[in-house]
Structure 1
């Protein structure tokens, strides 16, 4: 009986999986320079399908999960659409699409974003020319280009957010949230990831949900989680040696190989020197693999505060405990060891400490 029940459940599971599979047929027109097109599932590196272009035309067909997000790549020129069972015909020469109402709407949403492709390509091309120029003029040009890029990026993020917010009644947010979630804070993600939203259970949002869960592990009001790692002398230390002892402590997650971490460190050093005499402490938790690189960075940066690491890189024990999936990151703890703020960088760190210490 047990064997029969197991067999029946297996068959039912197979039927269910097959029911989720939906046939796709994709045809299109591409520029003369394109000889082959590739079809990807969003978030996967390996191509799902490909087709040789003949006289500017191509055709793809097969089966894939219902409403999977496809990305068509034609010499880095692409288009996203859902596998919803309606054939898609696209033209990457004059940018038109025929398909379901959902895919036509997604296509219309993507058109205003095309301008950012040209803008970022132009900035990258200029940056490559000055990236190795260590002269003052070269550094100034590189800085100006970085600032231009930030303006373009912020504008694009705002446009994508608007697309998400105006399409909460359909699946389109799954396409854009999966692209910009790392730039959003907890409150933004929480608002956009309502369990009642029609896109909430889309597979493309798995990492977005992980990010939200990561934020929730270090929300203000929660007590710090203790960590046991070695210091630079190889001695086993615990966070609880410094945290919850009556003083404010910044637990700073970083790595010697992390460029943004290194850029932020002068700011951390300045605030440490300003407030340490008042009891402010910093504890560095490194995501390094190399002890030599870790110790060298501590010395060159001028970190006078305690530093600990398990030298396991992204397998660092702090990652799951504090929901760290990007660095730099930090948590500011009060005297009791409760989290009062997270990811304080730049002026935000100084302003928070000024509020605490009064100067």
Structure 2
């Protein structure tokens, strides 16, 4: 009898040891027209190839397997099966799931508003998705109100919209700061990078785990932050050489760091927001030109004729430099410029004092520096 019990205990131990942890994904698809199509499990990232696929039958599907370490994946249909729809920044596309895959039991719903449940990381991410969708729905109503001819209604709508933007950004930041060790937060970080201040991006990267940093694209963002660190507020300007309108090479230091407050303006003739800003810059230049103020334009144009016509049409009379290399402009690369218009304000001794100032904020800063 003792031998029997010993054998039974040994058999149970062997069985337990052979049962490896595994993930189990049970999924539903809300659109019955998608029955008979395959859904695919992809590692997150460009040029990824699926690691598994399964046919959708009776509105459901299932995946199972072993995941050694948590990793970001997507579940989606083949290209063209689901009609593409434009979604807001950071939102998951319809009938697509973004998820952190680990050895958990996960529940996935593929619908117009996808969801994933089953581990704390996915639960938190999709709770955030729900909150963002509600904020955007409220924003849509605000836009409708802003079309009113009643000025008071429009003013109130604009104020509510600003509050909504602040609320959205606050939720994003809270998630990023509290999940900086998670890959799914890295995806959100990439999506909302232009909504975050430079110092906020640095703080998040400083808190980030190696798993966060391993997500495709994050390495490029970190490299960009390293470039921005060299031209951060409080640092001396970075010099470079580029051709002027006269065809000769000119150094930025010919204009900057020589006793004048200088606005370095990255722009292009093909950029509508840049063109919209120019009347204000022209006005400021007329007001402050004789008061130790200069503007240096760095154009991201690629055609000399278009560049010169833009200068003429917009009445830009300050010094201009360009290598006509479009987004590969060497000066823009040194200053980490990835969107225009972009301004860098430098004081009289060549120290960067402000960046990305436009409109009234730029006017106020110039008044402060040139009083």
Judge same fold: TM > 0.5, yes or no.
Answer: yes
Partner SS state of residue 318, structure 1: helix
Corresponding residue for residue 233 of structure 2: 220
2:167 and 2:223 mapped to 1: Cα distance? 26
Which residue of the partner structure matches residue 236 of structure 1?
249
State the 1:262 CA deviation.
2.3
Task: Give the C-alpha shift of residue 242 in structure 1.
Answer: 1.0
Change (3 A) 1:154 1:71: farther
Whether 1:300 and 2:316 are equivalent positions in the alignment is no
Residue 107 (structure 1) aligned to one of 104, 119, 126:
126
Q: Which runs of 5+ in 2 are unaligned?
A: 1-20, 83-92
Structure 1 residue corresponding to 2:59, chosen from 46, 56, 60: 56
Q: Superposed, which structure 2 residues align to 1:1-359 within 5 Å? A: 26-32=25-31, 35=34, 37=39, 41-42=43-44, 44=46, 48=50, 53-59=56-62, 66-73=69-76, 75=82, 76-77=93-94, 78-92=96-110, 97-116=116-135, 118=137, 152-168=164-180, 170-195=182-207, 197=209, 200-204=212-216, 205-358=218-371
1:219, distance to aligned residue in structure 2 (A): 1.0
Whether the aligned pair in 2 keeps the contact of 1:171 and 1:198 (CA below 8 Å) is: no
1:210 offset after TM fit, Å? 3.0
Instruction: Note the aligned Cα RMSD (angstroms).
Output: 3.8
Instruction: State the aligned residue count.
Output: 326
Change (3 A) 1:328 1:33: farther
Structure 1: gaps spanning 5 or more residues: 1-21, 131-136
Tell me whether 268-277 or 51-60 shows the greater mean CA deviation.
Answer: 51-60
Q: Which structure is larger by alpha-carbon Rg, 1 or 2? A: 2
Give the TM-score, by structure 2 length.
0.73
8 Å CA contact 1:29, 1:58 repeated in 2: yes
Residue aligned with 1:221, SS: coil
Q: Does the aligned pair in 1 maintain the 2:182–2:211 contact within 8 Å?
A: yes
TM-score normalised per structure 1 = 0.75
User: Displacement of 1:346 after TM fit?
Assistant: 2.0
Q: Secondary structure at the match of 2:296?
A: strand
SS in 1 for 2:344: strand
CA offset at residue 353 of structure 1? 0.5
CA distance in 1, matches of 2:267, 2:42: 33
